[in-house]
Chain A
């Protein structure tokens, strides 16, 4: 039995995982990252558009601060988020971006003087202030009141990930690459580490740690067409689910991005629209202003995706061998802008479509993009159900995104959560001793070993690739942008029978070392379980909120559904997850539920909403001299690690 001991074990080498590892290491803890792939290849690298942080340096960001960012985030979430966490997040985001700046991210900067941008299809002159020259600039993104999305051309995630990994290398943090965590080791109360399979040799190793952090990214590949990397299969979340103890939160909250190219589903960044690109239909007509007169192409993603789908359903899509699509028009931005700020987009168009976006429209369609759901955690990042298990980044349901996350808030989350949760992970490691029986390690080690033996020896003949693609098709067809009872019921029942079939997988290739078929065979049953939590959660949630949109329940129902879904998988043999619900406490919300201001859905109010609005009014009135920080403290007190406290300075405004 191979065993490795460490203090802080991090599963996943994306932005979130790396940042947590850095925090652990900086606190002097022994730290190891395991990752399927080299850290720099993690899907964080794919984020093109940018990272939100209310620096307010560019003129279009003037007046921005944590409060505005907070309001945007809560509205974006359709009030489904944890407002404490959203607060922790917005207050820390400026620090995160500034830290990354010292670590080497070449953020695009403000250039003083005039420049021309395209806003609402018109060329507009902006004059940047002299005193902001050289500070980090920002661009426009969907669902934000101010230009807040900081970026490096269109390689934001890439430069962030590289700076982060470079820092990790500087600190000498080992990344054990080409390793897959396939089970967590726990005793029902404490998590003690993970069983990890080497993807080259096929050997298993037990990694024993005081704290184990899951930072494995999203589960987009439950769908057949996704903007996600092919490794975004949600295995991290699945092994948490398989403990039978830890819960996954809001799994049905799945975001569809409006502009992925057809057919392969590769993303063209929201920056295209943020910088002035338009959506057009089969007649070349710009249709978004008809649906969303105020925010137009830049309403939040869930809204734009639905509007596009609606418009296609009206017969306004462009027919193609791969189904109908719409056009993304960035020709009006001009060659120079595209060559500089949207070059990855240009490359993608050239290589995958053979078109020149400077002259031609890009065929796009809403496509699965982001997983709001994940391992349910406390604001400290720890699972409320399994001590010593932490999670951060897209794999977590830390819950600052609720039912829809804003563009640019996700890479921001990975880093901010990494900073915050990283400190709590370190605290936990310092405060706890490693106490584990070898028999427990052996139990898990042998169990996983046996499972693999069984797979290899099995004489069943279910084809794992077949099962996987059936699952992806089911999710695509029935658990997509618009959902309804009939489709969801079908999805649940088909997934159930797939799960049964997945227990009878037979392998053609019986090699125990590197064997892609075996890798799939280990993953696919886990993925089907996740798919079931998504489909079943969506079936149960009889309302429309954020990205979860029920045709049969089009209203947002705060009365019955202002709650978070928790999914458990109690026993290995179970065929269905167990769902529980956790109320969001309106009476402690900083921002009482209201309309988002776009997407014009009807809302069924909760009785507490009115009450909270009154409370907030009273508190504000009773403290006429309080500044915004004091008001926030009264309405929504939060705790942050000491290092991360303190007001953020802004140009022309100081610390106000």
Chain B
């Protein structure tokens, strides 16, 4: 167990409350007080607030283990996964929670990331393109793949579509049509995959404009706030180099 946790401390949660479903509702900050428990996360705290203070409080948790990407929100100014944020991280005991910007607000801390992510996948056609796929005989041995390549693809596929990289990106905030880092990461992932027969030219068709890779201003919010530590900086630079040299 963590030693430095302050057991029994008073915590103050300042939470943005707004339900666009209710006509005339206005955004406001509401403060809730809680007693901190050992190992308390923002997930545990929010559930307590819902159960004990206000049953209408909206938020999204699914796995509560930092794997599904549902619970991203802005915690004291930083986009992060709420379920794996320990309250003990905040020595002052003041925690401000805002819904993730750059997404449609469902209510309070809940935003519609799913819709955006599906659109990203559709936009970059995030699946393996191989004309001959239909003819593959499943009784036969699989096509071999270099073990290191497989590992490298996995590195890029660890994205959980939480949306932190979009919320942390000033470009995305200003320009809604900007694809954003999560999309670049997917493009890089499929470009790397030898099973996907798309070429660099094909990828240029998808990201070769100012809504794509050339719109990125290297603000690095994606790199610094991705909870899965995906290598955005490196991959975006890689894509940019590739795309600039496409004939």
Contacts and interface: CB of A to CB of B under 8 A. Distances in A.
B65 A46 contact: yes
B67 A46 contact: yes
B144 A133 contact: yes
Nearest to A104: B128
Interface string B161-197: 1000000000000000000000000000000010110
A621 to B, nearest CB: 30
Contacts of B140: 98, 649
Given A40-B117, A109-B145, A200 B106 contact: yes
Given A169-B121, A229-B64, A515 B127 contact: no
A38 interface: yes
A136 to B, nearest CB: 6
Nearest to B137: A646
**Which of the listed residues A104, A106, A162, A646 has the most CB atoms from chain B within 10 Å of its own CB?**
A106
A133 B150 CA distance: 12
B165 to A, nearest CB: 15
A106 B139 contact: no
A347 B66 contact: yes
Interface string A138-167: 000000000000001101001100110111
A189 B62 CA distance: 35
Contacts of A177: 114-115
B162 to A, nearest CB: 10
Contacts of A153: 151, 154
Contacts of A230: 61-64
Given A104-B193, A514-B106, A109 B65 contact: no
A72 to B, nearest CB: 22
A650 B140 CA distance: 8
Chain B, interface size: which category? 35 or more
A354 B118 contact: no
Given A155-B158, A263-B39, A646 B127 contact: no
B22 interface: yes
Interface string B105-148: 01100101111011001100111101001001011111111110
A136 B195 CA distance: 15
Contacts of A104: 127-128, 193, 195-196
B153 interface: yes
A655 B114 CA distance: 43
A347 B85 CA distance: 12
A616 to B, nearest CB: 27
A135 B141 contact: yes
B64 A111 contact: no
A41 B62 contact: yes
A43 B64 CA distance: 11
B210 interface: no
Contacts of B112: 178
B154 A111 contact: no
B192 to A, nearest CB: 9
A111 B147 contact: yes
Contact of B154 (A155, A267, A347, A508): A155
A45 B128 contact: no
B114 A102 contact: no
B107 A45 contact: no
Interface residues of A, number: 81
A153 B21 CA distance: 42
A655 to B, nearest CB: 7
Interface string B36-79: 00110100000000110011111011111111111000000000
Nearest to A199: B106
Contacts of A107: 145, 150
Contacts of A508: 55-56
Contact of A516 (B50, B64, B84, B157): B50
B69 A516 contact: no
B118 A514 contact: no
B87 interface: no
A653 to B, nearest CB: 10
Contacts of B54: 509
A116 to B, nearest CB: 16
A166 B127 contact: yes
B76 to A, nearest CB: 16
Interface in A84-124: 95, 97-99, 101-104, 106-111
A18 B128 CA distance: 17
B146 A514 contact: no
Nearest to B146: A134
Given A104-B193, A516-B50, A516-B58, A99 B65 contact: no
A43 B144 contact: no
A43 B62 CA distance: 8
B113 A166 contact: no
Contacts of A159: 154, 157
Contacts of B143: 101-102
Contacts of A170: 125, 127
Nearest to B51: A465
A45 B41 CA distance: 21
A264 B44 CA distance: 10
B54 to A, nearest CB: 8
Given A38-B118, A229-B62, A230-B62, 9 more contacts: A46-B63, A98-B142, A109-B147, A166-B121, A201-B21, A229-B64, A508-B56, A516-B57, A655-B139
9 contacts: A45-B67, A98-B136, A104-B195, A109-B145, A111-B147, A353-B39, A465-B50, A511-B19, A514-B107
Pairs A-B, 6 closest by C-beta atoms: A134-B144, A38-B114, A517-B55, A354-B2, A106-B153, A109-B147
